Structure 1
């Protein structure tokens, strides 16, 4: 298996050196280069076309949120792992809105960071437990008011990859109803009461939804809802 080709964008010299050392410990990861600011990072990413970019938020000049937005706009196939000390809701939500695939705090252990890089490369979004609640609370605080038949259009405009997934395995009307209630923070029991169906039936719908969205759990489903435009 070819190693995961990685570019690192981090402005702090000691942190960048430590990350280089950590990444070098894995035979499955190849560091192509690193940069100390946003502009240099964008040039390096454009030149190297990595599989994944590890990006700090607090970069001088062009910050990490804007770096992520530009990378995803020009090269949506490149994965972006945000690695930062910032855990405020504005930064977390802005990162995912810009297209970040994973969000990780800098106090993570080296071996865990390597696993996050590999999981992200495999297609599994990672959300640091310390900020996962921010995403869920944001999603739960909003509701979906789209008219019937408009959700697929919103998804297609906001997230072409998700639109392709749903085109291959579209959600049923009932699954859309269940997804909306998940987004609003209802438990399986609450969904069953709302829709007048059994908890067992709800669990079946939830499994189908997670399968069709390629999400591992409700948190990832919430992130997809946030990034795709299902939630406004």
Structure 2
């Protein structure tokens, strides 16, 4: 199995060294380089073309959002290198600016390393990975930008119970919360969630929620 080529753009020494050390221990990761500021980071991404570039927002020189925007605008193949933002910033303005600049995924720095690896895998595969800590920001923006459809929305074959579960997902409920709210087991909730993802052709709960909001399935 080919390894995921990863480059890191991070100005904080302890964070950068810690991540580098952790990545070098992972057989599925090929650590191909690092940079400590936005200007050098842009050059690194352009020359090395990693599968996933992990970029901090608060960089010296050009910040991570501007780096992402410039890299995506100059890239011939805009899907070859995925950008995963790894930052302490969870403000709505930063989150939406990052995605607006072309970021593929967004993680908080307090994420567990195993989850970061999961995010890297998902991003490499072309799926957006959104940290649960900021998922509600993305959902609220989707709600704000959704125009109610003039006709009845497509049902996608969802059952009444699946629609109830989907509405609770949009409202930010966890599987345990949904189980308690609907008086069903967590295992049953997981089955409903899996069916919802399949029927909506969604890769994760956040994508399913955004798709449901935009189609008018839920509000």
Q: Report the TM-score when normalising by structure 2.
A: 0.71
Q: How does 1:179-198 map to 2 (within 5 A)?
A: 188=163
Mapped pair 1:138 → 2:141? yes
RMSD: 3.1
- The residue number in structure 2 matching 1:43 is 43
Aligned-pair CA distance for 1:207? 5.8
Contact kept in structure 2, 1:83 and 1:103, CA below 8 Å: yes
1:114-156: per-residue Cα shift (whole Å, max 9, x none)?
A: 222112112222111110011111111233389x9xxxxxxxx
Match of 1:114 among 114, 117, 120: 117
Q: Report the number of matched residues.
A: 178
Aligned-pair CA distance for 1:29? 0.7
In structure 2, C-alpha distance between the alignment counterparts of 1:209 and 1:133, rounded to whole Å: 22
Contact kept in structure 2, 1:135 and 1:222, CA below 8 Å: no
In structure 1, C-alpha distance between the alignment counterparts of 2:61 and 2:154, rounded to whole Å: 43
In structure 1, C-alpha distance between the alignment counterparts of 2:212 and 2:4, rounded to whole Å: 28
Aligned-pair CA distance for 1:49? 1.0
Q: 1:51 to 1:131 in 2, by over 3 A?
A: same
Contact kept in structure 2, 1:23 and 1:114, CA below 8 Å: no
Could you list the structure 1 runs, at least 4 aligned residues long, displaced by more than 4 angstroms after superposition: 206-209, 221-226
Q: How does 1:142-153 map to 2 (within 5 A)?
A: 142-144=145-147
Q: How does 1:24-63 map to 2 (within 5 A)?
A: 24-63=24-63
Aligned-pair CA distance for 1:210? 2.7
Unaligned runs of 5+ in 1: 149-172, 180-186, 192-202, 227-232
Contact kept in structure 1, 2:38 and 2:60, CA below 8 Å: yes
Contact kept in structure 1, 2:197 and 2:205, CA below 8 Å: no
1:2-21: per-residue Cα shift (whole Å, max 9, x none)?
A: 11111100011111101101
Unaligned runs of 5+ in 2: 156-161, 167-192, 214-219
1:53-100: per-residue Cα shift (whole Å, max 9, x none)?
A: 000000111110111112222221210100000001000111111111
Mapped pair 1:85 → 2:112? no
Q: 1:118 to 1:66 in 2, by over 3 A?
A: same
Match of 2:130 among 127, 130, 136: 127
Contact kept in structure 2, 1:38 and 1:61, CA below 8 Å: yes
